[in-house]
Amino acid sequence: MKLPVNMDGFGRCISYLRISLTDHCNLRCLYCMPDRDQVFGPDEEILTAQEIQTVVSAAAQVGFNKIRLTGGEPTLRRDLVDIVRQIKAVDGIDEITMTTNGLLLRRFAEDLAAAGLGRVNIHVDTFNAAHAKNLMRLDNLEQVWAGIRAAEKAGLSPIKLNVVVALDHNDQDVAELARLTLEHPWHVRFIELMPIGADGSVGFSQSQFVPTRQTQQRIENELGALRPVENAGPSDESRNYKLPDSQGVVGFISPVSQPYCGTCNRMRLTADGKFHLCLLNDDEVDVKAAMRSGGGVDDVAQILLEAVRLKPTGHRLSEGIHTENRGMFQIGG
């Protein structure tokens, strides 16, 4: 039997490309972009919409079928709707999704849906105003609610709320967030802190780490037993559950305490044109240089296959090795 060309050296079929559109963000979450001087990539180093379409076309050519747009914050790209429309036109791409903090989503939801975006993940760590101001440096939660409502109205569903859990910041809010699934058909997903970036971010992630088992126990203590439900597929990083009589799903993403590297199907493209091989490692393969030297879809496809071949079997957190050269805002999660 002929193996798919996008299969890596560990038998994983890599078919999901996460594209960071920018390293800029309109939040300063403590674990992602601490409130200190940050160096952002100059505009000329960020991939253009045409370069992104070239990469997507190459990805589809070698068997990729799912695209997620991330950031930083992707809604800060002025050409976001055009990028979605161009990706939608690529044969072989079955699904386009986006992760956003929702602050600007009210402006774009209808246009994004019309352009071909399928659904959104909205990052919000708490709906407690004081905790949001401290952890996310977010002063106006109503903007997030407006984004959620706009996404629902536009049909960008099922909506998934991504919650990064941090000790003494929002861990006491997890049951109230899970409670939202009783009345809404949303997926509320609790994510473990990951050590990514410079010393400040890594130190915060390590000292404020909350393992999934504690988050799950807190939710069950307050709301009742969680019943496991079938995942979307073997590569779904979320372990999914339902509360009694709930409309939605409670999910747990546990890259530190329960790694899912063995079924990973993801490749990441940074905003400045590098294939980032593993979220928690620094290894990268440059693709922008080839495109700006005249390389086309076929050339990019070969570089992508090389990146797939080099993709590691898993992270090395147990050895104290983590991503140091980039912050989370520069990779897109």
What was the pLDDT predicted at 330?
A: 75
Let me know the angle formed at the C-alpha of 150 by 188 and 229, rounded to the nearest 5 degrees: 25
* Band of pLDDT at residue 224, cut at 50, 70 and 90: very high
The domain containing residue 22 runs over which residues? Answer: 16-330
* Angle, helices 105-115/141-154, rounded to nearest 10 degrees: 20
* Angle, helices 80-88/49-61, rounded to nearest 10 degrees: 30
* Band of pLDDT at residue 1, cut at 50, 70 and 90: very low
Is there a domain that residue 165 lies in?
Answer: yes
Query: Closest Cα partner for 113 from 170, 145, 77, 157?
Result: 157
What was the pLDDT predicted at 32?
A: 86
What was the pLDDT predicted at 35?
A: 66
Q: Average pLDDT in the 4-19 region?
A: 92
Q: Average pLDDT in the 258-281 region?
A: 91
For the chain, what is the domain count? 1
Q: Average pLDDT in the 242-256 region?
A: 96
Q: Average pLDDT in the 193-207 region?
A: 77
pLDDT at 3 over 60: no
Is there a domain that residue 160 lies in?
Answer: yes
Beta bridge partners of 17: 67, 267
* Band of pLDDT at residue 62, cut at 50, 70 and 90: very high
Q: Average pLDDT in the 263-281 region?
A: 92
Q: Average pLDDT in the 113-123 region?
A: 98
Is there a domain that residue 303 lies in?
Answer: yes
Is there a domain that residue 107 lies in?
Answer: yes
How far apart (Å, rounded) are the C-alpha atoms in residues 187 and 160? 4
Query: Closest Cα partner for 98 from 37, 41, 167, 20?
Result: 20
Query: Closest Cα partner for 265 from 53, 6, 45, 5?
Result: 6
The more confident residue out of 206 and 327 is 206
For the segment 142-169, what is each residue's pLDDT rounded down to a tens digit? 999 999 999 999 999 999 999 999 999 9
Taking all residues of the chain, what is their mean pLDDT, rounded to a whole number?
Answer: 92
* Band of pLDDT at residue 316, cut at 50, 70 and 90: low
Query: Closest Cα partner for 333 from 142, 74, 139, 104?
Result: 74
Helices (H), the chain: 49-61, 80-88, 105-115, 129-135, 141-154, 174-183, 199-207, 212-223, 288-291, 297-310
SS3 304: helix
* Band of pLDDT at residue 201, cut at 50, 70 and 90: confident
DSSP 167: T
Beta bridge partners of 67: 17, 96
Q: Average pLDDT in the 42-70 region?
A: 97
What was the pLDDT predicted at 318?
A: 64
What was the pLDDT predicted at 179?
A: 98
Neighbours of 13 (CB within 10 A): 18
- List the structure tokens of 264: 């990973």
Least confident range of 15-19, 133-137, 201-205 = 201-205
How far apart (Å, rounded) are the C-alpha atoms in residues 189 and 249? 8
In this structure, are residues 64 and 15 in contact, taking their beta carbons and an 8 Å threshold? Answer: yes
Beta bridge partners of 196: 323
Is there a domain that residue 56 lies in?
Answer: yes
Is there a domain that residue 3 lies in?
Answer: no
How far apart (Å, rounded) are the C-alpha atoms in residues 219 and 248? 15
Place of tokens 């700006």: 292
Neighbours of 130 (CB within 10 A): 8
In this structure, are residues 165 and 193 in contact, taking their beta carbons and an 8 Å threshold? Answer: yes
Q: Average pLDDT in the 91-115 region?
A: 98
Neighbours of 224 (CB within 10 A): 12
DSSP 196: B
Beta bridge partners of 228: 241
Instruction: Say how many residues make up the chain.
Output: 333
Is there a domain that residue 5 lies in?
Answer: no
Place of tokens 């996008």: 6
Give me the CATH number covering residue 122.
3.20.20.70
How far apart (Å, rounded) are the C-alpha atoms in residues 8 and 105? 36
First CA to last CA distance, the chain: 34
Place of tokens 């589809």: 60
What was the pLDDT predicted at 223?
A: 98
